Amino acid sequence: MNDAATLLPEDEARARVLALATPLSAEWLALDDALGRTLAEDVLAQRTLPPWDNSAMDGYAVRADDLAGPLPVRLPVLETVYAGGTPRQEVRPGTCVRIMTGAPLPVGADAVVMRERVRPVPDGGADQVDILEAVESGQHVRPRGEDAKEGTLLLARGTPLGIPELGLLWAQGILSAPVPRAPRVAILSTGDELCRADEPPRGRIVDTNAPSLALAVRRAGGHPSLLGIAQDTRDSVGEFLSRAHGFDVVLTSAGVSVGERDYVKEVLAAIGVQQHLWRVAIKPGKPLVVGKRGSTLFFGLPGNPTSSLVTFELFVRPALRRLLGHTDVDPSRVPGRLDGRLSKPPGLAHFVRVTAAWKDGNLWARPLATQTSGVLRSAATATHLLHFAREASSLSHGDPVELLPLSWGA
């Protein structure tokens, strides 16, 4: 049981988790509420945008061929067209139109000269200008349909809905969108030693795992529900887990190792949860169990507070994102350099809590003074997890390292 070679590598464990998670059924949300979700269906453009060629800047609409000769070229100004207006005159050879950003390009014009490259004719009023710079056909023009063409694909299924994507939908007159519904997540803490924060301790310790995981679930896009605190007995764990019907994901903390009163794994099997992995070659977080019953995913997380948060970051959060329809769900990784030294026995991949800051073009990661998984202080100021590879035994100051930005910070 202590042979690290029998433990699942972190990437294989996550692949197994993600294979169990598929996007949830769709719901229609007003765009104001859909930020951060993903599209459950392809969306086709209903309008061609922009609906006409228009000017990309304030200037003068011209025929590019009129500026092919020696400069400057003097041209009469036929009219001024503002955004929201309609050109009344055609730009004939040897003429131009004063135009504002966003205004429709007049018939006959094929380019715009920016106003900084135009000089008024002395005593010519606004009726004549000298063009000081040649332009190519199409220069400073936003062509019709540049943003979208009616009937073509606007946004594909699975597209994350950020602010620009929502802007595209609003521009089409679309006010709601189909998105995978938010996962419903039940959270259970186990342990005779635990109490709620609003209870007198009386020799117990406050359960921080459940409320912390609830916040992590909410930040990942899920709807958390706290089931309570189960005692370290089969009956108590079973009774609380029986309340988890109808949830998409169930998270438990503690009771998943090999201790005499660790009953979660046993109870999960008794209620029909098929186990898909147990024990991962990582520290903190080795005693992780993952299973499925019907469409519900079960995660038995370790009981130490930081272990619980780290395993959420590495495995639960990617699964929640997959349920929400995201395709890019693996934890982000960025290159950095180690500010300090690290050593460990080979066998387990360590995820070291660090604070990282930019200096001289590099992201320097300094390990926190304590890496104890039983206290939240070891995670409170961390900005990243440093991946200390399974087979490695030492890292020196300045060595290149792989950093995982944390989602649990402020």
Give the pLDDT confidence of 334-356 residue by residue, as tens digits.
999 999 999 999 999 999 999 99
Tell me what percent of the residues of the chain surpass a pLDDT of 70: 98
| Pairing, β 296-301 against β 249-253 | parallel
Using CA of residue 194, residue 196, residue 197, residue 199, what is the dihedral sign?
Answer: negative
In the chain, the amino acid numbered 32 is D
* Among the listed residues 74, 146, 84, the one whose alpha carbon sits nearest the alpha carbon of residue 113: 74
At residue 167, the 3 state secondary structure works out as helix
pLDDT digits (tens, 9 = 90+) for 235-249: 999 999 999 999 999
Whether residue 303 contacts residue 373, with contact meaning beta carbons closer than 8 Å, is answered with no
Q: How far apart are CA 157 and CA 43, in angstroms?
A: 8
The pLDDT value recorded for residue 351 is 97
The model's pTM is 0.89
Q: Lowest-pLDDT range, 54-68, 98-112, 115-129, 299-313?
A: 115-129
Local confidence band at 123 (pLDDT 50, 70, 90 cut-offs): confident
Question: Is there a contact between 187 and 33 (Cβ–Cβ < 8 Å)?
Answer: no
Look at residue 342 in the predicted model and tell me its pLDDT.
97
368-383 b/e (C-beta count within 10 Å ≥ 16 → b): beebbbeebebbeebb
Burial class of residue 356 in the structure, from the number of CB atoms within 10 Å of its CB (0-12 exposed, 13-18 middle, 19+ buried) = buried
Distance (Å, whole) CA 103 – CA 50: 11
| Residue 100, token pair as written in the block | 């504002």
Percent of the chain residues topping a pLDDT of 90: 91
Residue 3 banded pLDDT, cuts 50, 70, 90: low
Q: What are phi and psi of 197, to 5 degrees?
A: -65, -25
CA atoms within 13 A on the CB side of 245: 4
Rounded-to-5 percentages of helix, strand, coil across the chain:
20, 30, 45
Phi, psi of 312 (to 5 degrees): -60, -45
Q: Stretch 114-122: mean pLDDT, rounded?
A: 94
Band (131; pLDDT cuts 50, 70, 90): very high
Euclidean distance between CA atoms 359 and 375, whole angstroms? 30
Q: What's the rounded Cα separation, in Å, for the pair 387 and 325?
A: 27
State yes or no: pLDDT of 2 exceeds 60. Answer: no
d(CA 329, CA 210): 23
Query: Among residues 366, 367, 353, 343, which one has the least CA distance to residue 404?
Result: 353
253-280 as b/e: b if 16+ CB within 10 A: bbbbbeeeebbbbebbeeeebeebbbbb
Decide if pLDDT at 409 tops 90: no
Residue 112 CA, chain-centre distance (Å), reads 39
Q: Is 203 left (phi over 0), alpha (psi -120 to 50) or beta?
A: left
- How far is 379 from 248, CA to CA, in rounded Å? 28
**What does the alpha-carbon distance between residue 305 and residue 59 come to, in Å, rounded to a whole number?**
62
Work out the average pLDDT over 3-10: 84
Residue 1 has a pLDDT of 43
Distances, alpha carbon 171 to alpha carbons 36, 49, 104, 341, 345, in Å: 18, 8, 18, 53, 57
Q: How far apart are the first and last CA of the chain?
A: 38
